[in-house]
Amino acid sequence: MVSYKELGLVNTREMFAKAINGGYAIPAFNFNNMEQLQAIIKASAETKSPVILQVSKGARNYANQTLLRYMAQGAVEYAKELGWEHPQICLHLDHGDTFELCKSCVDFGFSSVMIDGSSLPYEENIALTKKVVEYAHQYDVTVEAELGVLAGVEDDVQAEESHYTKPEEVIDFATRTGCDSLAISIGTSHGAYKFKPEQCTRDPKTGKLVPPPLAFDVLDAIMEKLPGFPIVLHGSSSVPQEYVDIINTYGGKMPDAVGIPEEQLRKAAKSAVCKINIDSDSRLAFTAAVRKVFAEKPGEFDPRKYCGPARDEMTKLYKHKIIEVLGSNGKAE
């Protein structure tokens, strides 16, 4: 058993309370490799932003859970080396799908876990979430739950259509499970193709897709039922068109990739939405930078020469999210 407290990590409780009161949101960035982690920590340290490092089941399989844990531990020290005296870094399991996986993360030094029972029938979601909460809270590990289903890929689960969270269920769910935060469905979805072209309109000048707005009425109704309760938005990448264009210019093929417009996320960040999940945008930044180097310098074969520019591009992206979208800069001095 390793306690996250020994690793210098923090859970989400205080982070979320401050974010709700302060009208900003905490960035939750996924990482799978060293370059992503370096970029996240550099951006957070330079902006003094609290940050959530997210590890998915896929990331654990890709990078090895032991290595990832030590990387997160190293990240705290790296942050201090960068001059961030009191880093506020949370290590969070993203989309945990079983009690055993959540328990293993709690036992292994994670400070927060998500149990995603959103694809289960309501009562089964409650029972599973409650079991994880009871275990995690013994070690002061915070738990995120999910109610409502996002369109697109929910980890391994393909959800063709999104089912918005039902506001009439949230009080019962939060009370009976004891969860610390709730991920909701209001129209966001995972990946780089968040809406089908037929769900969007087209900008007549650029020909680019303009996505439909998020269901802020559903968010408002949830906030009314659970005043001050921490709400989480998954699937919140904006799919920057400049990255999509670079990828397509240099041999990629990502037609009609579209994300959540930043102004909608800015609006959400000012509400009880206090954690905003971003993964795909970092993948796009990485891929765009690597494709550019490969196209312009076809003789290059030192991975540092293309992973380095990718890391710089991700750092720029993370800082942009922190300062221009979520408003979490300067909140962890």
CA 16 to chain centre: 14
Among 57, 92, 234, 275, binds ligand 13P (CB under 6 A): 234
Q: Which of 9, 40, 13, 3 is nearest to 230 (CA)?
A: 13
For ligand 13P, which residue of 47, 280, 287, 328 counts as binding (CB under 6 A)?
280
Tokens 């310098």 — which residue?
297
Whether 94 is catalytic:
yes
Instruction: Please state the closest distance from residue 150 (CB atom) to ligand 13P, in A.
Output: 8
Q: Is 234 helix (H, G, I), strand (E, B) or coil?
A: coil
**C-alpha closest to that of 157 among 216, 234, 217, 230:** 234
Which position among 94, 116, 279, 281 bears the catalytic label? Answer: 94
Residue number with CB closer to ligand 13P (27 or 235) = 235
Given 30, 44, 118, 287, the residue binding ligand 13P (CB under 6 A) = 30
Residue whose beta carbon is closest to Zn ion: 234
Site string for ligand 13P, 68-107 (x = CB under 6 A): --------------------------xx------------
Give buried/exposed letters for 99-135 (b at 16+ CB in 10 A, else e): bebbbbbbebbbbbbbbbbbbeeeeebbebbbbbbeb
| Stretch near Zn ion under the rule CB under 5 A, chosen from 84-92, 230-238, 263-271, 286-294 | 230-238
- Using only the alpha carbons of the chain, give its radius of gyration: 19
- Stretch binding ligand 13P (CB under 6 A), from 84-92, 134-142, 245-253, 272-280: 272-280
The entry of Zn ion, ligand G3H, ligand 13P, none near residue 180 (CB within 5 to 8 angstroms by kind) is: none
DSSP string, 168-216: GGHHHHHHHH--SEEEE-SS-BSSSB-S-GGGSEE-TTT--EEPPPP-H
**Partner from Zn ion, ligand 13P, ligand G3H, none binding residue 136, C-beta < 5-8 Å depending on class:** none
Taken in order 71, 77, 79, 85, the sign of the CA dihedral is: positive
For residues 281 and 258, the answer to whether their CB atoms sit within 8 Å is no
234 lies in the binding site for Zn ion (CB under 5 A): yes
Choice between 79 and 278, CB closer to ligand 13P: 278
236, interface contact from Zn ion, ligand G3H, ligand 13P, none, CB < 5-8 Å by kind: ligand 13P
Give me the residues that bind Zn ion (CB under 5 A), please. 234
Residues catalogued as catalytic = 94
